[in-house]
Amino acid sequence: MTTTPQPAVAHPLDQLYRTCVHCGLCLQACPTYRELGLEMDSPRGRIRQVMLVETGKLELGPTVVEHLDRCLACRACETACPSGVQYGQIIESARAQIEQQYRRPLLARLARRFSYATIADFSKLARTARLLRFYQRSGLQRLARASGLLRLLRLENTESLAPRIEDDFFFRDLGKTFPAEGEKRARVAFLAGCIASVAFAELNRATIRVLQRNGVEVWVPESQNCCGALHVHAGLHREAQVLARRNIEAMRRDNLDAIVTNAAGCGTTLKEYGLLLADDPARNSAQQFAATVRDVNEFLVQLGPRRPPCKLNARITYQDPCHLAHGQRVRSAPRELLRLVSDDFVEMPHADSCCGSAGVYNIAQNQLSLQILKTKMNDVAATHANILATANVGCMLQLRAGVAQGKLNMQVRHVIDLLDEAYGKTQA
């Protein structure tokens, strides 16, 4: 690796990895280390590999790339680290260098190019989603599964993780403003998300209803786009910067109390636009933008959520999305909301340990991701909950696959979706 300055980090890479004192206190917090037991797949081991490559003592070859690719970027190591190592910035910077200097196999390059270009462009995304929906609804999916074709192509697991495409994409709601119910307490811009707009459009609508119910006027900026989180995690910083600049421009408006998202992964990236554009002329507006971003759970609890008329008759447990717990340090807000929804909230063991979703990790590192998911589902099953709540759409897809594989009798729901249901209930 060279010492070319990387746009997504505020500090040079050598300053970042020098804060690591190699104590090893992060090792047991790391899901890949716990599964594989290899130092090279631990935070400390990865930092060392980055450092050796950076100083020219180790070649940036397939072995190093494999160990860095296996990192979930879950940031559990940041929470565990007593030295304040900013591991997220280290791995993102290292991945940017891999992207510039390492040539992946042709198929991987084509798949990456197609996926990242598609999510960055809502028209392309809509076209691809319609094709996927046709596959899912026309009987082709049933045929592909029953014929054994997917197994033959070794795509069975990957295919089962694809989101179910909804009928009514959220794109038609772009540009609309939804009025507050009752006394207006705040005015926010809502980030719809890319995959969420085609596979979780109803969740987006539920989020808007919950905000309205809490006296919030919700504006859905028309020219918004993907937040760039998946691009940042893949090391595609230039592409992520383009998306960030467009979102900042799209949401430039006075009198906004917050920019709200219901996806933890998007929220972390939006809150880090200041870092992403640290060397850019737009850095001041990026910092202002980032300071205004709130996860919807965090926003509602800060606002003071209105009580639902009735609670749900269900035992609920909660999986912390890594990017909410470790990336944004938001842990208590979703739990507070869930306690408004049910009197039977139970904590699961290791709730803030990654489920193995991690953006496209569950596709790119399918076997390891499923191994991590299996460990997670053992903790989930121990709660005997009827509902497994979380606060990130990627985690929902992964956990639904875990529930199906484990044949558990359990729904996987977003916290805000549950709150929406509770608000819709009438007192008996």
Residues that bind ligand SF4 (CB under 6 A): 20-26, 29-32, 43-44, 46-47, 71-77, 80-81, 83, 85, 87
The least CB distance from residue 373 to ligand SF4, in Å, is 14
Helices (H), 57-119: 62-69, 76-80, 87-101, 106-119
Nearer to ligand SF4, 245 or 326 (CB): 326
Tokens representing residue 302 in the block: 């800060």
* Residue among 107, 110, 117, 102 nearest 69 (CA): 102
The least CB distance from residue 42 to ligand SF4, in Å, is 6
Nearer to ligand SF4, 305 or 321 (CB): 321
Quick check: 190 and 210 in contact, CB under 8 A? no
The least CB distance from residue 84 to ligand SF4, in Å, is 8
The least CB distance from residue 313 to ligand SF4, in Å, is 36
What residues contact 281, with CB distance under 8 A and at least 6 apart?
Answer: none
Tokens representing residue 170 in the block: 């959220």
Nearer to ligand SF4, 25 or 250 (CB): 25
The least CB distance from residue 16 to ligand SF4, in Å, is 10
Nearer to ligand SF4, 34 or 133 (CB): 34
3-state secondary structure of 344: strand
Burial of 422 (0-12, 13-18, 19+ CB in 10 A): buried
Determine the distance from the C-alpha atom of residue 114 to the mean position of all C-alpha atoms in its chain, rounded to a whole number.
Answer: 20
Cα end-to-end distance, the chain, whole Å: 65
Amino acid residing at 281: P
Nearer to ligand SF4, 327 or 334 (CB): 327
Nearer to ligand SF4, 31 or 334 (CB): 31
Determine the distance from the C-alpha atom of residue 202 to the mean position of all C-alpha atoms in its chain, rounded to a whole number.
Answer: 18
The least CB distance from residue 76 to ligand SF4, in Å, is 4
Residues composing the chain: 428
The dihedral through the CA atoms of 99, 236, 17, 37 has a sign that is negative
Determine the distance from the C-alpha atom of residue 277 to the mean position of all C-alpha atoms in its chain, rounded to a whole number.
Answer: 20
Nearer to ligand SF4, 20 or 251 (CB): 20
Nearer to ligand SF4, 231 or 294 (CB): 231
Helices (H), 148-278: 149-152, 156-160, 195-199, 201-213, 229-233, 237-250, 264-271, 273-276
- Vertex 327: Cα angle to 286 and 163 (nearest 5): 95
The least CB distance from residue 74 to ligand SF4, in Å, is 4
3-state secondary structure of 423: helix
What residues contact 7, with CB distance under 8 A and at least 6 apart?
Answer: 96, 237, 238, 241, 276, 277, 278, 279, 280
The least CB distance from residue 331 to ligand SF4, in Å, is 17
Nearer to ligand SF4, 322 or 418 (CB): 322
Alpha-carbon gap, residue 224 to 211, rounded angstroms:
19
Nearer to ligand SF4, 79 or 386 (CB): 79
